Structure formats: structure tokens, C-alpha cells
């Protein structure tokens, strides 16, 4: 019953959020113009997930990277020289083929109706559900942006950011510290390249550089990420549960097994530590808050009405 009450409160929250942010996205936006839109996206993501489960965290990360650069307008999907996709922070993004596949099918079913930005937003939600996380209602009605520049990719949180910098980057989009902790909890699925954290597991003499890490875990990371490697090997961000959307990521933080420095600080800072402890104790609290925070994030700088366009192909403007 507690989860039911939380979900009911969440629906009320959606209505309030849209009113506060002044956006015209809404649940069921395509109910008459393309009633099978969400089903088509979900079926497409499910099909690709069946072939490669790594696509789930890839789509979730891509949505995050889209929204933090010029808002959730699908600009990260645009291809070409000097586009967002060419920026260093985006070179390892995965899942473009999933969005293209869904768009192709939607153009057959409902030509010129469903935006690429909405497809990406729905795909991120479906990815969480496929990894045993909670589903939530996604307000839709975004339109696609026409500008995508690598030089605009400058506000994405970095794996080495201290908490104060992370808070500044999130608050710039009216996302609270609670939103920050919940959204970083998305690291319960997915991997990180060794190059992002080898400075924590090796010092100049080859020994452990960060004594605050679980010292029994460090040898495992050193084996997976050799000091003389090229840094491209990847390691689960949630050790032991990297394919399941659950709260074990927060448990690992409490044990000194946070892989990235930016994750680790959520446990060492008193403000965020209390939120981490709450999510550790209650998976329903985490799931409901993650859904709320995702909806808030997915309404950052959306284009609606006469702004933007509905792309015929997600990788190119009309």
C-alpha cells in the first residue's frame, strides 16, 4: 500500500511540476495522433535489449547527456562534424541505432508526429524498467532542436567533480541535491572506463592512491584495470549488480566501493550521506524519487509548440 500511495502522490506531482515549469508536455500527448507511439518505442528497446543488455544504461546515459546540453531536445542525436556526438564526453555514447530503429517504425505508423527527443526520453524510461527498475509515466510533447555543437558540451558532470561542483551543475537546471543523489543512483546499471578512475587505484609507485577505498576491493580493480593499460577497459559501476536497477549501488558506496570519485563523495559528505542511507534502507523511496527526478530532468529546456521541429530522421535536421 505504501508504494501505491507513493505512486498516486507521484501523479499529482507530475501535474504540479508541469504547472511550475510552464511546459506544455503532458502524459498521453500522442494518445490521438499516434496512439501506439509508446508501445513501438518499448517494443524496439526490448528487442535491442534482448540482443545486448548493455543498451539499457547506454540509453539512460544518452538521455542525461542530451538534457544537460541545451535541454532535452534530441540535439545529442544529430550527426556531423563538430556536433555534440563528437565531443569527448560523448564519444562512448551507445544506443543511437535503437533510437533510429524506433524512429523508422514511427515514421511508418505516424509520419511527422513523434519527436526524436520524446523517443529518447521514453527509451530511457523503458531501459530502467527492463533492468528491473520501476516504470513511470512520461510527459511527452517535446520537439527536436536544430542546433548541435560540441562546444556546448561543457556542463556535463565529470567523474572527478567534487560535490560542490556537482551541486552547482545540477542546481543550474533547478535540480536539487536530492535529485542529484537519485539520478547518480542510475549508476546502478552500466560501466565506466578504467581511465576515469585509475588515479584512485594506483599512485606513482603502483600502490593504492586512495586510502578511503575498500582496500580488499582495490586488487580486483587493479587486475581489471592494469596500470600500463590504455584505460579503455570497462568496469561495472555497481560491483556485483551491474545489470540490475536496484539499491546495491548505494550499499557499495557505504562500503568504500564507489568506483568514480564523484560517486564516492556522496557517502563522505554528511548532506548527501543521509540521502544515500535513506535510499539504502528503502528501495521504494529510491524508485519513486528516481522517477520524480527523471521527470524533472526530462523537462529541462524542452521545445514545444512552434519551437524546434519533428525530425524525419533523428541524426539530421529536416
Among the candidates 108, 126, 156, a domain finishes at 156
Q: Are 107 and 37 in contact (CB under 8 A)?
A: no
Exposure string over 87-116, b if 16+ CB within 10 A, otherwise e: bebbeebbbbebbbbbbebbbeebeeebbb
Within a domain: 301: no
Residue 232 inside a domain? The answer is yes
Q: Which three cell numbers stand for residue 188?
A: 546502478
- Tell me, yes or no, whether 20 and 149 share the same domain: yes
Same domain, 95 and 120: yes
Phi-psi region of 114 (alpha: psi -120 to 50; beta: other; left: phi over 0): beta
Strands (E), 188-310: 191-193, 234-236
Same domain assignment for residues 206 and 248: yes
- Please indicate whether residue 264 is annotated as part of the active site: no
Residue 283 cell numbers, joined = 528501495
Q: How far apart are CA 79 and CA 61, in angstroms?
A: 17
Is 7 a domain residue? no
* Domain end call among 114, 133, 156: 156
Domain boundary among 136, 156, 176: 156
CATH code (residue 245): 1.10.420.10
Domain of 104, in residue numbers = 13-156
Alpha-carbon distance of 196 to 312, in angstroms, equals: 36
Please list the pLDDT of the chain residue by residue as tens digits (318 residues): 555 555 555 544 444 444 334 457 999 999 999 999 999 999 999 999 999 999 999 999 999 999 999 999 999 999 999 999 999 999 999 999 999 999 999 999 999 999 999 999 999 999 999 999 999 999 999 999 999 999 999 889 999 999 999 999 999 999 999 999 999 999 999 999 999 999 999 986 666 778 899 999 999 999 999 988 888 999 999 999 999 999 999 999 999 999 999 999 999 999 999 999 999 999 999 999 999 999 999 999 999 988 999 999 999 999
Residue 96 lies in a domain: yes
Same domain, 206 and 272: yes
Q: Tell me, yes or no, whether 152 and 176 share the same domain.
A: no
Say if residue 20 is in the same domain as residue 65: yes
Pair 180, 148 in one domain = no
Answer yes or no: is 276 within a domain.
yes
Count of the separate structural domains present in the chain: 2
> Do 55 and 173 fall into the same domain?
no
* Catalytic residue selected from 63, 65, 187, 264: 65
- Within this chain, do residues 75 and 42 fall inside the same structural domain, yes or no? yes
pTM of the model: 0.90
Clarify whether residues 99 and 215 are in a common domain.
no
64, 80, 136, 182, 292 from 283: Cα distances, Å: 22, 41, 15, 11, 14
Which CATH number belongs to the domain containing residue 124 in this structure?
A: 1.10.520.10
Selection from 253, 260, 318 nearest residue 279 by Cα: 253
Do 222 and 257 reside in the same domain of the chain? yes
Residues 179 and 45 in one domain: no
Amino acid at each position: 500500500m505504501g508504494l501505491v500511495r507513493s505512486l498516486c502522490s507521484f501523479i499529482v506531482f507530475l501535474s504540479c511540476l508541469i504547472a511550475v515549469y510552464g511546459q506544455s508536455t503532458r502524459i498521453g500527448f500522442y494518445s490521438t495522433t499516434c496512439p501506439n507511439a509508446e508501445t513501438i518505442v518499448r517494443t524496439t528497446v526490448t528487442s535491442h535489449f534482448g540482443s545486448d543488455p548493455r543498451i539499457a544504461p547506454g540509453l539512460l546515459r544518452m538521455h542525461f547527456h542530451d538534457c544537460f546540453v541545451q535541454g532535452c531536445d534530441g540535439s545529442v542525436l544529430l550527426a556531423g562534424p563538430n556536433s555534440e556526438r563528437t565531443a569527448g564526453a560523448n564519444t562512448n555514447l551507445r544506443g543511437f541505432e535503437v533510437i533510429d530503429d524506433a524512429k523508422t517504425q514511427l515514421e511508418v505508423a505516424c509520419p511527422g508526429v513523434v519527436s526524436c527527443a520524446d523517443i529518447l526520453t521514453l527509451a530511457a524510461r523503458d531501459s530502467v524498467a527492463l533492468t528491473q527498475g520501476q516504470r513511470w509515466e512520461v510527459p511527452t510533447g517535446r520537439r527536436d532542436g536544430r542546433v548541435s555543437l560540441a562546444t556546448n558540451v561543457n556542463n556535463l558532470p565529470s567523474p572527478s567533480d567534487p560535490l560542490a561542483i556537482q551541486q552547482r551543475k545540477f542546481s543550474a537546471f533547478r535540480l536539487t541535491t536530492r535529485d542529484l543523489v537519485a539520478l547518480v543512483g542510475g549508476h546502478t546499471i552500466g560501466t565506466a572506463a578504467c581511465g576515469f578512475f585509475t588515479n584512485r587505484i594506483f599512485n606513482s609507485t603502483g600502490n593504492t592512491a586512495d586510502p578511503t577505498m575498500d582496500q580488499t576491493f582495490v586488487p580486483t580493480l587493479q587486475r581489471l584495470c592494469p596500470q600500463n593499460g590504455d584505460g579503455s577497459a570497462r568496469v561495472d559501476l555497481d560491483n556485483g549488480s551491474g545489470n540490475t536497477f536496484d539499491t546495491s549501488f548505494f550499499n557499495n558506496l557505504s562500503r568504500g566501493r564507489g568506483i568514480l570519485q564523484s560517486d564516492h563523495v556522496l557517502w563522505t559528505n554528511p548532506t548527501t550521506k543521509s540521502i544515500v542511507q535513506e535510499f539504502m534502507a528503502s528501495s521504494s523511496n529510491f524508485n519513486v524519487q528516481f522517477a520524480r527526478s527523471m521527470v524533472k530532468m526530462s523537462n529541462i529546456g524542452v521545445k514545444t509548440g512552434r519551437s524546434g521541429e519533428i525530425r524525419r530522421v533523428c541524426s539530421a535536421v529536416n
